[in-house]
Amino acid sequence: MELTTVIVLVVLGVALLYAIMLYNQLVSVKHAVSQAWSNIDVLLRQRHDELPKLVEACRRYMQHESQTLERVIAARSAVASARADEDVKGVGRAESVLRAGLGQLFALAENYPELKANESFQHLHERISGLENGIADRRELYNAAVNINNVRIEQFPEVLLARLFGFKSAELLQFSDEEKADVDVRALFS
């Protein structure tokens, strides 16, 4: 065998090993996004299960606030639907509406001392608030995983393998600006 042939075979072997390594890294990054989404989904499901209990506890005391309660229920359904469709943008939009509704619900609860004193309401309020914090933390991890994925599939030489094997960019989970703003409690009671 000629030296030139050996050098070409070694170069091709190294290139193949490098391509395999890059492919495996892309697969790992893609699955990190899926795992991060699964972590969010677990918390969304838990909160989904708690919301009807919260609405029922509030309904007993807040007969005049049925619109707010209905908004929370409708938003809960929208989140569940978007989750089932694996529509990250839809989850973000529905979450914004749900979080705004929950903020209004908790703000309105301040007007009902018997409700605030209710042990079931207190427990559900703490549980849902804890889940909200967990969702926020997991959202941050998910968005970091998405960012890593999206950067990796656009960098050279990974972009070549990503296109060849159909790796796709992922959507960030974003909430609307209204959701990030503080609830104007005075506007709720005027």
How would you write the chain as a 3-class SS string?
CCHHHHHHHHHHHHHHHHHHHHHHHHHHHHHHHHHHHHHHHHHHHHHHHHHHHHHHHHHCCCHHHHHHHHHHHHHHHHHHHHHHCCCHHHHHHHHHHHHHHHHHHHHHHCCCHHHHHCHHHHHHHHHHHHHHHHHHHHHHHHHHHHHHHHHHCCCCCHHHHHHHHCCCCCCCCCCCHHHHCCCCHHHHCC
The CATH code for residues 3-188 is: 1.20.1440.20
- State the chain's mean pLDDT as an integer: 88
Q: Residues 96-138: pLDDT tens digits?
A: 999 988 988 888 888 888 888 888 888 999 999 999 999 999 9
Quote the pLDDT of residue 180: 47
Listed by start position, the domains of the chain span 3-188
Which residue type, as a one-letter code, is found at position 22? L
Quote the pLDDT of residue 177: 59
Which residue type, as a one-letter code, is found at position 37? W
Which residue type, as a one-letter code, is found at position 148? I
**Whether 103 contacts 185, CB under 8 Å:** no
Quote the pLDDT of residue 186: 46
pLDDT band at 179 (very low <50, low <70, confident <90, very high): very low
Quote the pLDDT of residue 64: 73
Which residue type, as a one-letter code, is found at position 133? N
**Residue 181 pLDDT > 60, yes or no?**
no
The contacts of residue 142 (CB under 8 Å, 6+ apart) are 33, 36, 37, 39, 40, 173
**Whether 115 contacts 57, CB under 8 Å:** yes
Rounded to two decimals, the pTM is 0.79
Q: Residues 142-159: pLDDT tens digits?
A: 999 999 999 999 999 999
C-alpha 125/C-alpha 59 separation (Å) is 14
Q: Residues 32-54: pLDDT tens digits?
A: 999 999 999 999 999 999 999 98
